[in-house]
Amino acid sequence: MAEGSSGSEFTLDSIRKSLIRQEDTIVFCLMERAKFPMNSALYNQSLDLVPGFSGPLVDFIVQETEAVQAKAGRYVNPEENPFFPDNLPPSLVPNYNYSQVLHTGGASININKAIWDMYLNQLLPLFVVAGDDGNYASTAASDLSCLQALSRRIHYGKFVAEIKFRDAPHDYEPPIRAKDADELMKLLTDERVEKMVKKRVEKKAIVFGQDVSGSNNADSKHYKVDPSVVARLYDEWVIPLTKRVEVEYLIRRLN
């Protein structure tokens, strides 16, 4: 379950604690990516930089990295979802006995295409400067860290949905049977928590991203990633996509 935990505790509170910890990872990943300029050659569909590979260099780097990580068992973990699930090699290492709390129908939900699209086309231009410094491999590694952190957070919606269902099966069963996605969305939404999440991630971007100086005249107005972009990331994409995963999971919960 929650990263680094034994898996024995499965409550809405423990799930939310993990989501809060994942915010730190996401903010730090974005700050690392912001060290590099856009490096748009990396994403160019028609450059064919790698002989024998057709597609953007970022696809090549992500596919190769995911293949290595798949062999080392990364995607055996129900919290992990690959960006290129087709033709991934199987795990070569002995299986770790992950606690299986998810319903089988929902376990296969993977909305990484939407996450990839959002990250590359909408989010990146909001927090990296224009330019090309040639550091394509490092930039792509940094992109992948961001994408994996976002993907893990968003697909955590499966665990959120499972615990919400277990806590109130009588509320969830009728709209699940009726396949009423709007009603499920209403039921699972907690606006008070969402407001807190957005406020907190903006604050984290301010605290983690300020320049730290040995003297007292630090420039407190300069942040490594604009805190309002982090708040917007959660408001426009992370929270709605997490809720989309929750609804998709619940719709299949009684299959």
Ligand X SMILES: C=C(O[C@@H]1C=C(C(=O)O)C=C[C@H]1O)C(=O)O
| DSSP codes, 60-79 | HHHHHHHHHHHHTTGGGSTT
Spatial contact of 66 and 84, defined as CB atoms under 8 Å apart = yes
Verify binding: residue 152, ligand X, rule CB under 6 A. Answer: no
Q: Which residue has the tokens 């299959």?
A: 255
Neighbours of 122 (CB within 10 A): 13
Q: How many Å apart are CA 73 and CA 69, to the nearest integer?
A: 6
User: Of 59 and 202, which has the nearer Cβ to ligand X?
Assistant: 202
Q: How far is the CB of 172 from ligand X (least distance, A)?
A: 13
Piece of the chain touching ligand X by CB under 6 A; list 25-33, 55-63, 106-114, 183-191: 183-191
Verify binding: residue 69, ligand X, rule CB under 6 A. Answer: no
Verify binding: residue 140, ligand X, rule CB under 6 A. Answer: no
Piece of the chain touching ligand X by CB under 6 A; list 37-45, 57-65, 135-143, 184-192: 184-192
Verify binding: residue 204, ligand X, rule CB under 6 A. Answer: no
**Of 9-48, which residues contact ligand X (CB under 6 A)?**
16
Q: Which residue has the tokens 């024995």?
A: 8
User: Of 35 and 186, which has the nearer Cβ to ligand X?
Assistant: 186
User: Of 74 and 243, which has the nearer Cβ to ligand X?
Assistant: 243
User: Of 59 and 162, which has the nearer Cβ to ligand X?
Assistant: 162
Piece of the chain touching ligand X by CB under 6 A; list 38-46, 176-184, 192-200, 220-228: 192-200
Q: How many Å apart are CA 24 and CA 207, to the nearest integer?
A: 11
Burial pattern 79-102, b for ≥16 Cβ within 10 A else e, equals bbbbbbeeebeebeeeeeeeeeeb
Distances (CA, A) of 65 to 44, 58, 71: 19, 10, 10
Q: Which residue is nearest to ligand X (CB)?
A: 242
Spatial contact of 89 and 68, defined as CB atoms under 8 Å apart = no
Binding residue for ligand X, selected from 42, 147, 197, 233, defined by CB under 6 A: 197
**Considering only CA atoms, which of 176, 160, 167, 166 is closest in space to residue 238?**
160
Residue 91 DSSP code: P
Verify binding: residue 147, ligand X, rule CB under 6 A. Answer: no
Verify binding: residue 2, ligand X, rule CB under 6 A. Answer: no
**Of 211-240, which residues contact ligand X (CB under 6 A)?**
239
- Point out which residues bind ligand X (CB under 6 A): 16, 160, 188-190, 193-194, 197, 239, 242-243
